[in-house]
């Protein structure tokens, strides 16, 4: 009997099921030894840690044909026969580790439609609902992913109806102005949250996301912010080396974001026109330093591992004066221990080489990294690694880790605090550039300045 049980366990391991260890008694004439029970328990825990989620359908077929899987063995003491007690995996982890997660997409524009494809390609998700202000965008995503018409929610409040439906998680890809409100509502509704950068367009919004992340942890929900640089293994290794002291004490740094793109268009004067072309509307995007150049600032603040104390600088509109957002900034940030960092960003300049970089000099070396090419550390040790297609691969890692956090019950939500820090850094730089003066982070937060778009005339 014991041999038969062992073979069952090995077979289940082969199919990648999660074995939930339990205290078991096999009533087959005698109670197994404590050593045998201990080995079974340890074997079960091993299976949980090394679960393979790549073949859900074959697992389910196996489960149906073989008593639905194993959780723990219990004795049928009264009858003298062995029996199987099935425990739902969610009693151990945050969700059924053998099931696809049902997700809803909030925001079906360019990035939203693109990342919906990545979630589908991952294989661990079912996209079952979507919402967007515009019917055509919701239908485009819905038709591609087989979402029923009655689960395509339209209008500014469409996301609220989506949150009322049966879902495990939401993916928020709307204009950044809406992120704090939608993320908070999702946590209130008990949904796991995957949200695009930037998390907000102003300081109050950043702080709101920070609070939503804390509430998610308290409610045993996963909250992940999709920054790609922090998801890359080589960037992680490089920054770890800096934090371990391999380049010594930080002295100074610089970061840059020159970009050919960005366009020179003008949003239509209508409210719906502004929603479709939200990038050029300050209150909806936060300006390009917040919406796009934040990648460089996220890398830089990750290296320093501290909030900036203040920023000073300038900026303006010289190639797209018709828009409400700037096309260039030139700033200096000051971090603790008197560490300055020069930051420049510019858009809509033909023939410029696109870069998303940050570099810091230490007393014993240097770190430099570029979103599009490589990252290296020269110091007490040396590392240099190429980076390829980070826009896609970084999102793929985040999607994978989002699933793992949910199914393994990891609710520490480590992406939230660094995202609040880098987003506040971007907002601080924007305000310094707009005011053309020095402003401290403490002053920015105390002011509590909130951007509010003119949404009169849009349907709810």
Residue 69 reports pLDDT greater than 80? no
pLDDT at 72: 36
Summarize the confidence of residues 67-95 as an average pLDDT: 37
Say whether both 248 and 298 belong to one domain: yes
Mean residue pLDDT across the chain: 85
pLDDT band for 445, please (50, 70, 90 cuts).
Answer: very high
Say whether both 36 and 129 belong to one domain: no
More confident residue, 179 or 460: 179
pLDDT at 457: 85
Say whether both 192 and 239 belong to one domain: no
Summarize the confidence of residues 429-447 as an average pLDDT: 99
- What radius of gyration do the chain's Cα atoms show? 26
In a domain, 136, yes or no: yes
Would you tell me the crossing angle of helices 416-435 and 294-304 to the nearest 10 degrees? 120
In a domain, 455, yes or no: no
pLDDT at 75: 34
Summarize the confidence of residues 99-114 as an average pLDDT: 97
Listed residues 171, 198, 226: the one ending a domain:
226
In a domain, 96, yes or no: no
Say whether both 51 and 111 belong to one domain: no
Number of domains present in the structure of the chain: 3
Say whether both 266 and 285 belong to one domain: yes
Summarize the confidence of residues 365-379 as an average pLDDT: 99
pLDDT at 263: 76
Say whether both 137 and 198 belong to one domain: yes
pLDDT band for 255, please (50, 70, 90 cuts).
Answer: very high
pLDDT at 98: 62
pLDDT at 323: 83
More confident residue, 287 or 47: 287
Residue 449 reports pLDDT greater than 90? yes
| Lowest mean per-residue pLDDT among 158-172, 178-192, 313-327 | 313-327
CATH of residue 312's domain is: 3.30.360.10
In a domain, 335, yes or no: yes
pLDDT tens digits for range 289-308: 999 999 999 999 999 999 99
Say whether both 219 and 239 belong to one domain: no
More confident residue, 209 or 78: 209
In a domain, 62, yes or no: yes
| Cα–Cα dist 428/450, whole Å | 13
Residue 274 reports pLDDT greater than 50? yes
pLDDT tens digits for range 184-240: 999 999 999 999 999 999 999 999 999 999 999 999 999 999 999 999 999 999 999
pLDDT at 48: 32
pLDDT band for 96, please (50, 70, 90 cuts).
Answer: low
Pairing of strands 72-76, 81-85: antiparallel
What is the H or E stretch that residue 35 is in? helix 34-49
| Lowest mean per-residue pLDDT among 38-47, 100-109, 192-201 | 38-47
In a domain, 130, yes or no: yes
| Lowest mean per-residue pLDDT among 21-35, 92-106, 135-149 | 21-35
pTM: 0.80
| Lowest mean per-residue pLDDT among 67-71, 262-266, 344-348, 395-399 | 67-71
Tokens of 112: 């939203």
Cis geometry, peptide bond prior to residue 327 (ω within 30 degrees of 0): no
Summarize the confidence of residues 314-331 as an average pLDDT: 94
Summarize the confidence of residues 10-26 as an average pLDDT: 39
Listed residues 47, 66, 91: the one ending a domain:
91
Say whether both 77 and 155 belong to one domain: no
% of the chain beyond a pLDDT of 90: 73
Listed residues 176, 203, 226: the one ending a domain:
226
Residue 246 reports pLDDT greater than 90? yes
| Cα–Cα dist 141/392, whole Å | 19
| Cα–Cα dist 167/103, whole Å | 6
pLDDT band for 64, please (50, 70, 90 cuts).
Answer: very low
pLDDT at 1: 41
| Cα–Cα dist 133/188, whole Å | 22
Say whether both 397 and 436 belong to one domain: yes
Three-state SS across 406-460? HHCCCCCCCCHHHHHHHHHHHHHHHHHHHHCCCEEHHHHHHHCCCCCCCCCCCCC
Say whether both 256 and 399 belong to one domain: yes
In a domain, 157, yes or no: yes
CATH of residue 212's domain is: 3.40.50.720
pLDDT band for 256, please (50, 70, 90 cuts).
Answer: very high
Closest CA to 398 of 106, 240, 173: 173
H-type alpha helices, 261-387? 271-276, 282-285, 288-291, 294-304
Domain span at 42? 2-91
Say whether both 254 and 350 belong to one domain: yes
Say whether both 354 and 214 belong to one domain: no
Residue 379 reports pLDDT greater than 70? yes
| Lowest mean per-residue pLDDT among 10-14, 18-22, 150-154, 446-450 | 18-22
pLDDT at 97: 55
Summarize the confidence of residues 327-351 as an average pLDDT: 97
In a domain, 324, yes or no: yes
Closest CA to 309 of 343, 342, 337, 344: 337
């Amino acid at each position: 009997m014991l041999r038969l049980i062992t073979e069952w366990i090995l077979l289940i391991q082969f199919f990648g099921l999660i074995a939930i260890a339990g205290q078991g008694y096999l009533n087959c004439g005698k109670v197994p030894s404590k050593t045998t029970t201990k080995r079974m328990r340890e074997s079960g825990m091993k299976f949980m840690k090394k679960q393979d989620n790549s073949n859900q359908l074959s697992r389910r077929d196996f489960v149906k044909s073989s008593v639905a899987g194993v959780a723990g063995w219990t004795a049928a003491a009264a009858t003298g026969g062995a029996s199987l007690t099935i425990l739902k995996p969610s009693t151990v982890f945050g969700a059924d580790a053998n099931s696809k997660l049902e997700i809803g997409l909030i925001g079906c524009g360019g990035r939203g439609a693109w990342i919906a494809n990545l979630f589908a390609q991952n294989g661990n998700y079912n996209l079952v609902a979507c919402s967007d202000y515009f019917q055509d965008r919701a239908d485009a995503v819905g038709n591609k992913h087989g979402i029923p018409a009655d689960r395509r929610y339209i209008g500014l409040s469409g996301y609220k109806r989506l949150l009322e439906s049966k879902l495990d998680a939401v993916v928020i890809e709307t204009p950044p102005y809406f992120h704090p409100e939608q993320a908070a509502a999702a946590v209130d509704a008990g949904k796991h949250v995957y949200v695009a950068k930037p998390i907000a367009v102003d300081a109050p919004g950043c702080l709101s996301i920070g609070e939503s992340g804390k509430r998610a942890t308290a409610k045993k929900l996963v909250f992940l912010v999709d920054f790609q640089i922090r998801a890359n293994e080589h960037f992680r290794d490089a920054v770890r080396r800096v934090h371990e002291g391999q380049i010594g004490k930080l002295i100074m740094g610089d970061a840059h974001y020159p970009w050919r793109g960005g366009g020179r268009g003008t949003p239509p004067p209508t409210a719906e026109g502004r929603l479709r072309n939200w990038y050029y509307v300050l209150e909806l995007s936060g300006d390009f330093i917040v919406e796009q150049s934040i990648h460089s600032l996220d890398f830089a603040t990750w290296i320093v591992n501290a909030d900036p104390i203040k920023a000073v600088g300038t900026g303006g509109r010289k190639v797209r004066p018709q828009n409400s957002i700037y096309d260039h900034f030139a700033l200096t940030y000051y971090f603790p221990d008197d560490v300055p960092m020069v930051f420049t960003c510019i858009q809509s300049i033909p023939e410029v080489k696109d870069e998303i970089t940050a570099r810091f000099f230490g007393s014993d070396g240097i770190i430099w990294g570029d979103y599009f090419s490589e990252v290296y550390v020269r110091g007490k040790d040396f590392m240099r690694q190429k980076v390829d297609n980070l826009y896609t691969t970084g999102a793929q890692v985040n999607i994978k880790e989002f699933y793992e956090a949910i199914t393994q019950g990891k609710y520490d939500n480590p992406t939230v605090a660094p995202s609040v820090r880098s987003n506040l850094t971007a907002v601080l730089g924007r305000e310094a550039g707009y005011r053309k003066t020095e402003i401290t982070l403490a002053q920015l937060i105390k002011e509590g300045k909130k951007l509010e778009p003119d949404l009169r005339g849009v349907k709810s």
